[in-house]
Amino acid sequence: MRRPWPVRFALNLIKLAAVLSRGQEGRCFSCTRMFNISQSRAKIPRSFCSQTCEHVFVGKHLKLLTLTDCARLLQRIQTLLPPQEHKIYHKISGR
């Protein structure tokens, strides 16, 4: 039986987070080379040597996620946030 999209997506995110948390700091998950964390321009600098490596790795692991899935996920996040955090969310997301 196929799981509903939120469950599949959540499981993919959990797996990805588990992989990233177990990695050696300063070793790129995409190209596997060692690098200086302070010089990385990636959003997750302890795990990726560059933005390119980060995009390739994350894109490969979340390639089945569609724009519609992203929109649904954002809507769910908004409904889960307490009212006082809505302002913070909108500021961060640019909405």
Parse the chain into domains and list their residue ranges. 5-93
Angle of CA points 26, 27, 32, to nearest 5°: 160
1-15, 25-39, 65-79: least confidently modelled range: 1-15
The amino acid that residue 43 corresponds to is K
CA–CA distance, 23 with 28 (Å, rounded to integer): 9
Nearest Cα residue to 44 out of 34, 33, 32, 55: 55
For residue 48, what pLDDT is reported? 93
CA–CA distance, 79 with 41 (Å, rounded to integer): 32
The pTM for the full model equals 0.58
- Between 88 and 47, where is the model more confident? 47
Q: What is the pLDDT of residues 15-24, one digit of tens each?
A: 777 777 788 8
CA–CA distance, 61 with 46 (Å, rounded to integer): 18
Statement: residue 27 has pLDDT above 80: yes
